[in-house]
Amino acid sequence: MASIKILDQIHVSPSTTSSSNPVVPLTFFDIAWLHTGPVERLFFFPYNNSTSHFLSTSLPSLTSSLSLTLQRFHLLTCHVTTSPSDPAQYIFCPSSSNSIAMTVAESDGSIDFEEIVSSDPRDLSKLDPLVPQLGKSDDGTAALAALQITIFPNLGICIGVSIHHVVCDDSASIHFLKSWAAACRDNGFDSESAPMPPIHDRAVVPDPNGLYFKSLSEMRELASNGPPPPPPDLSIKPPALFMATFSLSREEIDRLKHGMADTAASSDVPVHSSSFTVACAYAWICLLKCRGENPTKETAHLLFSVDCRARLTPPVPVQYFGNCLRPCFVEATVKDLLSENGVVSGAIEIGKSIKGLENGVLDGAELWLKKILSILPNQPMSIGGSPRFRVYDVDFGFGKPNKVEMVSIAKTPGTVSLSERGTEEGGIEIGVVLPRDEIERFSSCFLGGLKLI
Contact, 419 vs 404, CB < 8 A? Answer: yes
DSSP 8: E
**Please, which residues bridge with residue 87 across strands?**
none
Contact, 103 vs 9, CB < 8 A? Answer: yes
Residue of 123, 186, 207, 395 marked catalytic? 395
Residue of 165, 175, 200, 301 marked catalytic? 165
- 320-347 exposure pattern, b = at least 16 Cβ within 10 A, e = fewer: bbbbbbbbbbbebebebbbeebbbbbbb
- Bond from prior residue into 314 cis (ω within 30 degrees of 0): yes
Q: What span, in angstroms and rounded, lies between the C-alpha atoms of 263 and 224? A: 48
Sign of the dihedral through C-alpha 303, 304, 309, 312? negative
Measured from the Cβ of residue 174, the count of other Cβ atoms closer than 10 Å reads 23
**Please, which residues bridge with residue 331 across strands?**
301
207 given a catalytic annotation: no
CA-nearest of 286, 303, 5, 217 to 129 is 5
Q: What span, in angstroms and rounded, lies between the C-alpha atoms of 414 and 302? A: 9
Contact, 163 vs 377, CB < 8 A? Answer: no
Q: Backbone phi, then psi, for 320, in 5-degree steps?
A: -60, 130
Q: What span, in angstroms and rounded, lies between the C-alpha atoms of 147 and 222? A: 33
165 given a catalytic annotation: yes
Sign of the dihedral through C-alpha 333, 337, 338, 344? positive
Q: What span, in angstroms and rounded, lies between the C-alpha atoms of 187 and 331? A: 49
Q: What span, in angstroms and rounded, lies between the C-alpha atoms of 92 and 110? A: 40
Contact, 82 vs 188, CB < 8 A? Answer: no
Q: What span, in angstroms and rounded, lies between the C-alpha atoms of 179 and 232? A: 42
Q: What span, in angstroms and rounded, lies between the C-alpha atoms of 453 and 448? A: 10
Residue 29 CB partners (closer than 8 Å, separation 6+):
169, 205, 308, 322, 323, 324, 325, 326
Question: Which residues are catalytically annotated?
Answer: 165, 395
